[in-house]
């Protein structure tokens, strides 16, 4: 039958490599900074500034980390 699958242990090669980013705490830090900044809007200007600085610094580091990872990929890898 044409619908039967041959189970001979042979696995076809993958079509293209898959790139997964490295684990990072930076997305959680951006979220925490944004949350602190939003709470600061309601409660205190100091919290707003602290949360904003945390979010901005974490975002800059996250973008830098992503750029470094993308630079390490082979040229033929689709972005």
HEC assignment per residue over the chain: CCCCCCCCCCCCCCCCCCCCCCCCCHHHHHHHHHHHHHHHHHCCHHHHHHHHHHHHHHHHHHHHHHHHHHHHCCCCCCC
CA distance 32 to 53: 11
pTM above the 0.75 mark? no
Q: What's the pLDDT at 41?
A: 96
For each of the chain's 79 residues, which pLDDT tens digit applies? 444 555 666 776 766 667 778 899 999 999 999 999 999 999 999 999 999 999 999 999 999 999 988 888 777 655 5
């Amino acid at each position: 039958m044409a619908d039967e699958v041959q189970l001979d242990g042979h696995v076809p090669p993958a079509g293209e490599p898959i790139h997964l980013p490295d684990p990072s705490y930076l997305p959680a830090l951006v979220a925490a900074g944004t949350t602190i900044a939003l709470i600061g809007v309601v409660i205190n200007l100091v919290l707003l500034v602290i949360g904003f600085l945390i979010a901005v610094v974490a975002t800059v580091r996250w973008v830098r980390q992503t750029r470094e990872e993308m630079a390490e990929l082979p040229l033929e890898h689709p972005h």
